[in-house]
Structure 1
């Protein structure tokens, strides 16, 4: 391989990791000089140029060189020095084999504390040596503890197939979606744990929430480490991102994730994503990302049916060392229908009561008394989605319309009333309500609530509409 060819290959990698302007400014003027004994020599225009590259692009150059020349590849600079008589002289400065030099941002902001994946140094130079990555996985989330039913059979089967053959299947990306407490996190982490069990550290697995990813990206920008952040995530063989809907409205994060997604997908790495809604229903997400989310398999999780709820309760009771009769299990399974988390809560409350009251054996009468408040809450629970459905049915419009950006008067009115009623009937925060209406922020929700309250005071017609919807939802919750 010639020096020109080697440097061209390096530039192709570098271009993918920095902005076009930075590439034009700092890398395009560099000239390859020679390639000898696996050492590439490049010429830079000045001593300052060399120092800037060393300070800001050290790890990227090291990792890039490793990919092109192998782990033993080295870099030398031929630095042009200006003499006083305007003549030029050159000398070679060998790239020191040293740890990442600390920057001012590191000293001031405690950069060592920032570590994607909780590893000691997340930006250990990729390609030079295999980095041991803490996958952030919960070891209790495994397939053996995930109860299969009609509500999740497709998703679980696909997850098992991915765990057995990550990256080399047609389910890439694997996008799983469903409401709160239906087991999305358990299932996607089960994939990661299965892969780790089978392959150990040979396959780098990373689980992270969308919020965690965003926070790390912001921190990387603040510390001038954005390119290294990107390079770290491009090392991952199986990337699992939870609650992807929270990328909504975060343009810079979406752009960064788009490039990481592309790089991993092109390299045959496995991507696993979760959301509380289907890809096309996530608002304020770039169309190019939505399109990529749909490349592989999208599978939804439904509310568990009675048989699945009963099996989950048996497993949870066994895991917690509590014996429950068929009557008690049946009572809980019939009365807690919304999600798995409520089932777990019921078991935990019974366990706490038995422990505190020194009860050796729980009977149905006692279980009904202990869980009375929870049963009432479960039966009367109204979701934001159901409120949207009631309001949209009343106005005769498609439910999806209130999540879109349209400013049609009838849709705006329905959206504002739905937001108002969501605040009345749920404990959801303003931020959460906004997310259910197309990713709108809390200030929009506040404005909607104020608008509805004002109209109710000034318009009898408007007050009648809201009162009728309020009564309808209230009756449905009984």
Structure 2
């Protein structure tokens, strides 16, 4: 039997899979493709320079052991980094790097020079007429890494944030895009990175701004005919943090100006940090050339915190506020408020307030009353698991059948409906939805959503399915 690159890599993967955590295997090894085998050198393709650096930093030993087992002591590993080329050339940009020999990999890019005849840079944060050279960072010092507790739901994003704070502009996490649902800590983490950079590098110019405010400033600069001053102001920033970048959706003028600012900062080794409620693949009405740049660095998702992380968050909040609370009450709140950190902390604050204002002892009964009101008054976020259960029950099948590989028409339609409602009712990315509903990819989810839209408008019976399930999920 001839040895191929794929067979060697498959054997390596079997060994690696047995020796690392399942989530780590899925994140860092499933996306790799075996390309070719020449003598003792195996070439593998990885999606980005960041990916390559992460493997070399964290998994080089296990890679070496697994490859030596297959190809002997003279085994070599060559990385091929495939990057998107956005300038019309259909050939992907690739560069080969031998293992443990870090070369620099850079996508070719073009920056459009902007002539600025005015020697003075106008700071959009300063009231006209008042001279002020110093640029205030607009950061909130209360948002720090110390009170952004680590858990499985945020470990990658937090670790990347720490790496950026230690070496802004000097890692492959540029840009760093932090995405996730409401109240999961995107803004907190973005501020924490900025605050840490200001502590470590006081001479660096750090600026935090919401995409909404950025857009408003750009509109004002066009009205006042000083667009170039606006661009040049942003081009002197060392670390630019833009919150809720999805707000740029559909705003072509603002996207165009941000594209030039981004290019300039990136090419000059400056750091860009973005937050969004969606992954780049799910963003609507954002230009492709901008989306491709968002994908250059790292997109790190913040997910709903698990029970242990929720308990830690509550205990940390109580400790910072100097309040003691029985363990069973903390656990009760953590068990019943699952969707986001903001609601979690809000419930604890309400509990403390009720107790102190009404001079009531904090009991499980009081906690139940607060949590019940809190959950009722908050728009319930439906989980993907819950959607799968509702859809499965509606079609009288179990969840395993819904997730199975079968192509039976009624099961396929049920699965497509589950994907459609997961996209409609949750903030999860298409990739995350596909992974949870039968380990499908994001393209399958996109196809499912289009199919449901088409059938709803042409098939009366199918439209009834959609209406019935919508009612059940909206209760």
Q: Write out per-residue CA displacement over residues 225-262 of structure 1, whole angstroms, 9 at most, x where no aligned residue.
A: 11100010001000001111111111111110000000
Cα deviation, residue 336, structure 1? 0.6
Q: With structure 1 as the length reference, what TM-score do the two structures score?
A: 0.60
Question: Per the alignment, do residues 414 and 142 of structure 1 end up closer, same or farther by CA in structure 2, a change over 3 Å counting?
Answer: same
Q: Write out per-residue CA displacement over residues 362-388 of structure 1, whole angstroms, 9 at most, x where no aligned residue.
A: 122222123222245569543799879
Q: Which has the larger radius of gyration?
A: 1
Matches within 5 A, 1:13-52: 16-17=113-114
Q: With structure 2 as the length reference, what TM-score do the two structures score?
A: 0.61
State the match for 2:137 in structure 1.
135
Q: Write out per-residue CA displacement over residues 1-38 of structure 1, whole angstroms, 9 at most, x where no aligned residue.
A: xxxxxxxxxxxxx96225xxxxxxxxxxxxxxxxxxxx
Contact 1:336/1:378, CA 8 A, preserved across alignment: no
Cα deviation, residue 342, structure 1? 1.0
Contact 1:336/1:379, CA 8 A, preserved across alignment: no
Instruction: State the alpha-carbon separation in 2 of the partners of residues 401 and 322 from structure 1.
Output: 40
Correspondent of 2:416 among 396, 399, 402: 396
Consecutive unaligned residues in structure 2, runs of 5 or more: 1-110, 392-411, 425-429, 431-441
Consecutive unaligned residues in structure 1, runs of 5 or more: 1-13, 19-56, 64-99, 101-114, 125-129, 419-451
Contact 1:304/1:339, CA 8 A, preserved across alignment: yes
Question: Per the alignment, do residues 409 and 168 of structure 1 end up closer, same or farther by CA in structure 2, a change over 3 Å counting?
Answer: closer
Question: Per the alignment, do residues 410 and 280 of structure 1 end up closer, same or farther by CA in structure 2, a change over 3 Å counting?
Answer: closer
Contact 1:349/1:371, CA 8 A, preserved across alignment: no
Q: Is structure 2 residue 307 aligned with structure 1 residue 306?
A: yes
Question: Per the alignment, do residues 411 and 337 of structure 1 end up closer, same or farther by CA in structure 2, a change over 3 Å counting?
Answer: closer
State the match for 1:75 in structure 2.
none
Higher share in helix: 1
Cα deviation, residue 312, structure 1? 0.3
SS in 2 for 1:236: coil
Instruction: State the alpha-carbon separation in 1 of the partners of residues 128 and 385 from structure 2.
Output: 43
Matches within 5 A, 1:176-195: 176-195=178-197
SS in 2 for 1:337: coil
Cα deviation, residue 141, structure 1? 0.4
SS in 2 for 1:208: strand
Instruction: State the alpha-carbon separation in 2 of the partners of residues 122 and 285 from structure 1.
Output: 36
Question: Per the alignment, do residues 290 and 409 of structure 1 end up closer, same or farther by CA in structure 2, a change over 3 Å counting?
Answer: closer
Cα deviation, residue 315, structure 1? 1.3
Contact 2:255/2:287, CA 8 A, preserved across alignment: yes
Question: Per the alignment, do residues 362 and 136 of structure 1 end up closer, same or farther by CA in structure 2, a change over 3 Å counting?
Answer: same
Question: Per the alignment, do residues 275 and 213 of structure 1 end up closer, same or farther by CA in structure 2, a change over 3 Å counting?
Answer: same
Contact 1:338/1:378, CA 8 A, preserved across alignment: no
Question: Per the alignment, do residues 383 and 222 of structure 1 end up closer, same or farther by CA in structure 2, a change over 3 Å counting?
Answer: farther
Matches within 5 A, 1:198-347: 198-200=200-202, 202-347=203-348
SS in 1 for 2:354: helix
Q: Write out per-residue CA displacement over residues 180-228 of structure 1, whole angstroms, 9 at most, x where no aligned residue.
A: 111011001101001112222x100000111111111011111111110
Contact 2:259/2:290, CA 8 A, preserved across alignment: yes
Question: Per the alignment, do residues 224 and 413 of structure 1 end up closer, same or farther by CA in structure 2, a change over 3 Å counting?
Answer: same
Number of equivalences: 325
Instruction: State the alpha-carbon separation in 2 of the partners of residues 164 and 142 from structure 1.
Output: 14
